[in-house]
Structure 1
Amino acid sequence: FVVKIPAGLAPEQAAPLLCAGVTVYSPLKHFGLTTPGLRGGILGLGGVGHMGVKVAKAMGHHVTVISSSSRKRAEAMDHLGADAYLVSSDGDAMAGAADSLDYIIDTVPVHHPLEPYLALLKMDGKHVLLGVIGEPLSFVSPMVMLGRKSITGSFIGSVEETAETLQFCVDKGLTSQIEVVKMGYVNEALERLERNDVRYRFVVDVAGSNIEEAVAAAEAPSN
């Protein structure tokens, strides 16, 4: 597919928006969650989650980041502009936030319980799964019956939505937090990805890389 990059959007910024950006933009649009004033939750603060915060805020939403620890609190609120931060292991805080969210964008890619998060949704609230998980998730049916809540999912987005995402980000002045690396750094970048040591996307600068050196480095025996 070919998507035109709007004027004013650098190629290194366009690259992650073609995945992480449209992945959160698409369900917000498709499920009618673009109205200013909505209260949304972003579950998981990674490459997709950090764009979820930015896109939802740009739509005029009150955004709560939900995470398993308080480690990313300052990053979420001071740097990304989230309105609130909720630690899922804090029972009192979770109980205090019950029935407060119109939707949750769930970016967690590993098995996790749904019931604690379904309890956060208002009447007709939507829990949107974006993480690819290879084992069944479970919940008790009253968690969705009481409150007429929905569990649904979304995967990336259409070409049309991709173009809309790029233009939306230009119009709103949104950027993805990236680290630009050369081809010779790719192996180390992959190791850092395994350690979750990137905020929040690597972008490979192919044009600015010495390909021959990169190939030689990749083929060199490791110590």
Structure 2
Amino acid sequence: MSSATANEDCLGWAARDESGVLSPYKFSRRAVGRDDVSIKITHCGVCYADVGWTRNKNGDAKYPVVPGHEIAGIVREVGTDVHHFKVGDHVGVGTYVNSCRDCEFCNKKLEANCAKGAIYTFNGIDTDGTVTKGGYSDYIVVHERQVFYNVVTLLQENETIAIALPGFKGIPQELIVYCFTIPDSYPLASAAPLLCAGITVYAPMMRYKMNQPGKSLGVIGLGGLGHMAVKFGKAFGLNVTVFSTSISKREEALSLLGADKFVVSSDQEEMQALVKSLDFIIDTASGEHPLDPYISILKTAGVLVVVGAPSELKFKPVGLFIEMRTIAGSVVGGTKDIQEMLNFCAAHRIYPQIEVVPIQYANEALERLVKNDVKFRFVIDIENSLK
């Protein structure tokens, strides 16, 4: 059923200024249209992006900011034209809730890289001109849209089609959804961090074919993203080496996460011993750090992908062109990758390490996140604490 009637109040927690302090806040979501899915949020992961925009680190905060883009929940209402979801389904929402659906990247299922700009789940500008508000709230409304070949395209591709019936929109091309099916067997609390931390490392691993058993993976940093890279690496059958500045993380890397090797990145002897030994490195570290030591560890034609967010990275290019090495960047993933990852995690029982907290703990959780005091992802229990 669809209720395109008056909006109802939505309860969330928002930051009102650059202090970033969150407190209860009531606002309106749009009414459920014919292409919309309304989701009761049960859990929301805490990402460093929540710190960045609530505290205006990027200079573009649109207060009040309701953060949260690692959302898991249950469908509570669908529009009349929605056929992919039904009330009661378990679903997730990630870092974006819309895109143009017509550019070269959207057509390749790379909606995060939409040429016209993906619409972010919070602090973005939606199609109706309103500011999007995220998962630190009790429900959210997102699109399910079916893309059609238009009549002109059909005539160009098939000259035998000459007449369109009245009301004919075209032939269905594909379904583009901005929420994703979470398998019933997979806990919703565990699913939430996959929608950002998980997909951010999964997408580049798949892009560079780092799912082939026997290859070697290096992971720089062991936080929310890094620990998921280790888990995916082991599930893919890779030999995984973790790099960290903190020796205290050795036991977590080796015993808890199952990495094959742990290296203190400041130990020059340990680093030198690994020269030209790894196929692929994922750099999840957000603090300042040199790249040259890691570039030298790549094999010939090896790839280093940066998914962390340091303010600056420095390296000497000679280490790239002599050995045909590549440095690349990556940000989350497209809709196809996200659904594929959720299915993979459910099938292989891959679960992020989480600390579940109530919404009343959100400010402290953000402070602890800044201090890197979390193992490895906070998840807010929205359903049982936001009332």
- TM-score normalised by length of structure 2: 0.53
Partner of 1:141: 317
- Contact in 2 for aligned 1:69/1:89 (Cα 8 Å): no
**Superposed counterparts of 1:156-171, under 5 Å:** 156-171=332-347
Residues 78-115 of structure 1 show CA distances to partners (whole Å, capped at 9, x for unaligned) of: 00000001111111111111111001000011221110
Structure 1 distance, partners of 2:205, 2:197, is: 13
Matched with 1:41 is 218
* SS of structure 2 residue aligned to 1:103: strand
Post-superposition offset of 1:141: 1.8
User: Is 1:16 the counterpart of 2:178 in the alignment?
Assistant: no
AA at the equivalent of 1:177: Q
Aligned match of 2:377 in 190, 201, 204?
A: 201
Offset at residue 193 of structure 1 (A): 1.4
Deviation at 1:146, TM superposition (A): 2.0
SS in 2 for 1:110: coil
SS in 1 for 2:209: coil
- 1:128 is matched with 305
Alignment match, 1:219: none
Aligned equivalent of 2:365: 189
Distance 2:300 2:358 in 1: 48
Higher-helix-fraction structure:
1
2-side partners of 1:139 and 1:208: how far apart?
A: 48
SS of aligned partner of 1:98 = coil
What is the CA–CA distance in structure 1 between the aligned matches of 2:350 and 2:218, rounded to whole Å? Answer: 19
> Which digits, 9 at most, give the CA deviation of each residue in 1:94-141, with x for residues without a partner?
111111100100001122111000010001100100012333x22222
Normalising by structure 1, report the TM-score: 0.91
Tell me which residue corresponds to 1:217.
none
Q: What is the number of equivalent residue pairs in this alignment?
A: 210
| Equivalent-residue separation in structure 2 for 1:7 and 1:183 (angstroms) | 24
What is the match of residue 52 of structure 1? 229
Deviation at 1:183, TM superposition (A): 1.3
Q: Deviations over 1:175-207 (max 9, x none)?
A: 000011111111221221122111111111111
Distance in 2 between the 1:210 and 1:105 partners?
36
RMSD: 1.0
Instruction: Tell me the distance in 2 between the aligned counterparts of 1:11 and 1:80.
Output: 21
Native 8 Å contact 1:39 1:102 kept in 2 = yes
Unaligned runs of 5+ in 1: 212-223
C-alpha distance in structure 1 between counterparts of 2:246 and 2:378, whole Å: 24
Q: Kindly indicate which of the two structures has a greater share of residues assigned to strand.
A: 2
Q: Which has the larger radius of gyration?
A: 2
List structure 1 segments (4+ residues) > 4 angstroms apart after TM superposition: none
2:202 corresponds in structure 1 to: 25
Structure 2 residues not aligned, in runs of 5+: 1-177
- Which residue identity is paired with 2:293? P
> After superposition, what is the alpha-carbon deviation per residue over 1:133-159, rounded to whole angstroms, capped at 9, x for unaligned?
333x22222100121100001101111
Paired residue for 1:119? 296
What SS does the corresponding residue of 2:382 show, helix, strand or coil?
coil
1:58-69 alignment, distance < 5 Å: 58-69=235-246
The correspondence for 1:84, drawn from 261, 264, 271, is: 261
Distance in 1 separating the partners of 2:299 and 2:386: 53
Measured in 1, the distance between the counterparts of 2:352 and 2:315 equals 34
Q: CA deviation at 1:210?
A: 4.9
**3-state SS of 1:126 partner:** strand
Secondary structure of 2:181's counterpart equals coil
How far apart are 1:68 and its partner, in Å? Answer: 1.3
SS of the equivalent of 1:93 reads: helix
Q: Could you tell me the percent identity over the aligned residues?
A: 46
Question: Which deviates the most, 38-47 or 126-135?
Answer: 126-135
Question: Higher relative CO (CA 8 A, sep ≥ 6), structure 1 or 2?
Answer: 1
- d(CA) in 1 for partners of 2:335 and 2:306? 20
Q: Is structure 2 residue 245 aligned with structure 1 residue 74? A: no
**What is the distance in 2 between the residues matched to 1:23 and 1:84?**
22
Give the corresponding residue for 2:59.
none
